[in-house]
Structure 1
Amino acid sequence: MLQGELDLEDEDHRDRTRLMVALDALNQRYGKGTVHSGATGGTNRGKDWGMKQERRTPQYTTRWEDVPVARA
Structure 2
Amino acid sequence: MLIDLIDANRQQLSLLDTAQSDADRQRSQKLMNTMDELNRRMGHDTVKLGTPSTGAAWHLRCSHRTPRYSTRWDELPTVRVL
Spell out, residue by residue over 1:11-62, the C-alpha distance to the aligned partner (whole angstroms, 9 max, x if none).
Answer: 3432144322221111012211111233xxx49x868565210111223233
26, 30, 48: which one aligns with 1:18: 30
**Pairs aligned (count):** 63
TM-score by length of 1: 0.53
Return the index of the structure with the highest Cα Rg.
Answer: 2
41, 52, 62: which one aligns with 1:53: 62
2:36 aligned partner, one-letter code: D
TM-score by length of 2: 0.49
Question: What is the 5 A alignment of 1:33-72?
Answer: 33-38=45-50, 42=51, 50-72=59-81
1 or 2 for the larger relative contact order (CA 8 Å, sep ≥6)?
1
Q: Structure 1: any 5+ residue segments left out of the alignment?
A: none
Q: Structure 2: any 5+ residue segments left out of the alignment?
A: 1-13
Runs of at least 4 residues off by over 3 Å: 45-50
How high is the sequence identity, in percent, across the aligned residues?
Answer: 35
